[in-house]
Amino acid sequence: MLELKNIHFSVTDESSGSVDAKKTILGGINFTFEKGKFYGITGPNGSGKTTLAKAIMGINEVTSGSIRFNGKDITNMTITERAREGIAYGFQHSARFKGVTFRALLAIAAGTEDEDRLIDIIARVGICSLDFLDKPVDSKLSGGEIKKIELATTIARNPVLAIYDEPDTGIDLWTIDPMVKLIQKEQKKHERTTIVVSHNRAFLEAADTLLMIKDGKIAYVGDLKGATPMLTDLSVCGYGDICEGESNVRCYR
Amino acid sequence: MLDAIDKDLLMAVADLEGIPKGAYNIRKNGQLLGRKVSGGINIEANEEENGIVVTIKPGVVDQSVHIPVILSQAGLHDVVYNTFIIGEDADVTIVAGCGIHCGSSRAGGHEGIHEFQVGKNAKVRYVEKHLATGEGTGKRTLNPTTKVFMEENAVAEMDLTQIGGVDEAKRLNEAELSAGSSLFITERIMTDGNQIAISHNNIILKGDDSKANIVSRSVIKENSKQDFYANVEARARSFGHIECDAIIMDNGINETVPALRALHPDAELTHEASIGKIANDQLIKLMSLGLTYDEAVEKIIRGFLK
C-alpha cells in the first residue's frame, strides 16, 4: 500500500563551507509497507528516521526515488494532497499557535465542528475534560498535553496511513502503555497502516515489523528479537577512547 | 433611518442586526440618528455639544450601552468627545465602534476621544471595532483616543479591534490606575495595501497593587505599516506586563517598542515582544490536516486576531 523506491534525500552540507557540498541523509531506501500492519522505525539519533517519515508525508521533498501510495504515485504531491489521500502525521515537536484552540484544530482534522463527534475523539485519546477543547494550543500547554492533542488530531483524520513521530516524547511513563494500546486499537479496528518512529521498547514490542535505519539506510527488517543484538550494540558508549570516568559529564553525551 | 450600508456597518462594528436593545446612541454622518436611555444609564449631549456623556449609576449591573458611529457621507470628518462615568460597583459593557463607508474619491474620517471615569469597585468592558468599506478611493482615517481613569479596585477590560479598510489610524490609549485596580487592554489590528496604523499606549500605575496587562496582536500584509509603542510606568507596588506580537507578510513593516519604567522598588514589570512571519511548523501542521497553504494562513491569522 506504501511503496518506497530508492528514496534519496540530501541537504546542503553547511559544515563544509562549500555551497555545492551535499550531505546525504537518506541513501536509497526501498521498502513496501502492507495494509493494516504496525511498523516500528528505530535507529540511532541522526540516522534518518524522522527524515524518512517526513518524506512520506511530503514535508521533505525527496532528492530522487519514488513513493507510491495505494497504487498512486505521490512523489510530487504536496502535503495537503497527501493528507487528502489519507496520510496523517503526528509530529514529534508539535506546532504551537497563538489563539488557535484545540477545538479549532480538531475540527479541521475531523472535518466537522459537531460537538458530539469532537467529544467522541477526545474521549478516545483519554482526555476527559471538555474545558480542554477551548484551550489555545500555545506554549502554556505541558509536553504531555500537547502530545495528546497531536495524537487526537492524527486520529481525527481517520487516516489510511498514520505516521507517529516519537509519540512518547514528553509523556509520563504511566501514559505510554495506554498510548501504545490506543494506537494498536485504532490500527486493528480501522485496518490502519501504522508507522511509529520510536526508541521506546513498548512501541517496538507492539510492532508487527521493525525497521532499523542506520546512516540513511535500512539496516534491519524483522521482529524485535532479531533486532535486539543491534540495539544493544547501539546503546554501548561510543566515547570510550576519550572517557575520563564518571567525573566527566561528557560521558552523558 | 438605517439603509442597507448602515446595517452592514452596524453589524460589523457592533454586532447589531438593527436597533439594539438596552441603552444606545447611534451617530450617523455627524448627526444623532437615535438614542435610548434606560433606568440605570443616562446619555446626554455634553456642554460643549461636541459629544455625549454616558452616566452609569452606581450599582447598575449586567447592562450594556451601544454607541456606534457610521459615516457614509463622503468628505465628512467627524470629531467627538465622549465621556463615560461609571458609578461605584457598576458592571457594564460598552460597545463602541466606527464604520466608514467610502463610495467616492473624497476622504472620510472619525476622531473619537473616549474618556472613562471608572468608579470604585466598578467593572467595565469596552469593545471597540473599526472598519472601513466601499469602493471609493478617498482616504479613510480613524484616530481614536481612550483616556481611562480608574478609582480603587476598579476593573477595565478593553478590546480594541481594527478589522480592515482603514487607510490611516493613529491610536492613543492612556490610563491611570489607583490602588487595587486592574486594566486589561487587547488590541488587534490588521492592515493591508498601503495602510498605516500607529498605536501609542501610556499607562501609569499610581496605586499599590494596581495591575495592567497590555496585549497587542498585529497582522501586517502587503505594503502596510504598523507601529506599536507601549509605556508602562510604575509609581507604586504594582504589576505591569506588555505582550506584543506581530506577524509580517509580503512587504509589511513593523516597529514594536515596549518600554517599562519602575519608579518604585516593589514594581514588577515585564514585557515580551516578537515580530516575524507565520511559523513554518504551524503551516505544515495545518497542511498535514488537509488545508491548503492559503487556508492554513487564513486559519492562523484568524486565530491570532480572535
The whole-number pLDDT of residue A209 equals 94
Answer whether residue B287 is part of any domain. Answer: no
Residue among A98, A65, A96 at smallest CA distance from B284:
A96
Which residue of chain A is at minimal alpha-carbon distance from B299? Answer: A100
* Count of other CB atoms within 10 angstroms of residue A4: 23
The whole-number pLDDT of residue A244 equals 61
Nearest to B289 among A59, A93, A108 (CB): A108
Is residue A78 a contact partner of residue A58, using CB atoms and an 8 Å limit?
yes
Cβ within 8 Å, pair B287-A79: yes
Nearest C-alpha of chain B: how many angstroms from A93? 9
* Count of other CB atoms within 10 angstroms of residue A36: 15
Answer whether residue B104 is part of any domain. Answer: yes
For residue B231, the enclosing domain spans 4-279
Nearest C-alpha of chain B: how many angstroms from A80? 5
Domain count across chain B: 1
Chain A residue numbers touching B290 (CB-CB < 8 A): 80, 83-84, 108-109, 111, 157
- Chain A residues 31-70 within an 8 A CB cutoff of chain B: 57, 59
Whether residue B276 lies within 8 A of chain A, CB to CB, comes out as: no
The whole-number pLDDT of residue A253 equals 43
Which residue of chain A is at minimal alpha-carbon distance from B280? Answer: A95
Q: Which residue has the higher pLDDT, B88 or B100?
A: B88
B216-260 tens-digit pLDDT? 999 999 999 999 999 999 999 999 999 999 999 999 999 999 999
Nearest C-alpha of chain B: how many angstroms from A67? 17
A220-243 tens-digit pLDDT? 999 888 888 777 766 655 556 656
Which residue of chain A is at minimal alpha-carbon distance from B291? Answer: A80
CA distance B197 to B195: 7
Residue among B221, B227, B196, B214 at smallest CA distance from B278:
B221
Four-CA torsion A146, A152, A156, A158, nearest 10 degrees: 110
Predicted TM-score of the model (pTM): 0.84
User: Is the pLDDT score of B167 beyond 60?
Assistant: yes
Q: What is the mean pLDDT of chain B?
A: 91
* Helix H or strand E encompassing A47: none
Q: Where are the domains of chain A?
A: 2-232
Answer whether residue B292 is part of any domain. Answer: no
Nearest C-alpha of chain B: how many angstroms from A137? 10
Task: Please name the residues in contact with B220: beta carbons below 8 A apart, sequence gap of 6 or more.
Answer: B190, B191, B226, B246, B247, B248, B249, B252, B253, B254
Across A74-88, B67-81, B209-223, least confident range:
B67-81
CA distance A126 to B129: 40
User: Is the pLDDT score of A210 beyond 90?
Assistant: yes
Q: Band of the pLDDT at A245, cuts 50, 70, 90?
A: low
The residues that bridge with B191 in the sheet, in sequence order, are B220
* Count of other CB atoms within 10 angstroms of residue B224: 25
User: Is the pLDDT score of B111 beyond 70?
Assistant: yes
Most A-contacting residue of B289, B293, B294, B300 (CB-CB within 10 A), to test interface = B289
The whole-number pLDDT of residue A144 equals 83
C-alpha cell at B287: 497542511
Answer whether residue B284 is part of any domain. Answer: no
User: Is the pLDDT score of B204 beyond 70?
Assistant: yes
Rounded percentage of chain A residues whose pLDDT exceeds 90: 58
User: Is the pLDDT score of B1 beyond 80?
Assistant: no
The residues that bridge with B174 in the sheet, in sequence order, are B147, B202
CA distance B263 to A135: 36
User: Is the pLDDT score of B64 beyond 70?
Assistant: yes
User: Is the pLDDT score of B147 beyond 90?
Assistant: yes
Which residue of chain A is at minimal alpha-carbon distance from B274? Answer: A98
CA B83 to chain centre: 16
Chain A residue numbers touching B284 (CB-CB < 8 A): 59, 79, 95
Cβ within 8 Å, pair A104-B305: no
Nearest to B245 among A83, A88, A98 (CB): A98
CATH of the domain spanning A2-232, picked from 3.40.50.300, 3.10.310.30, 3.30.750.80, 1.10.260.30: 3.40.50.300
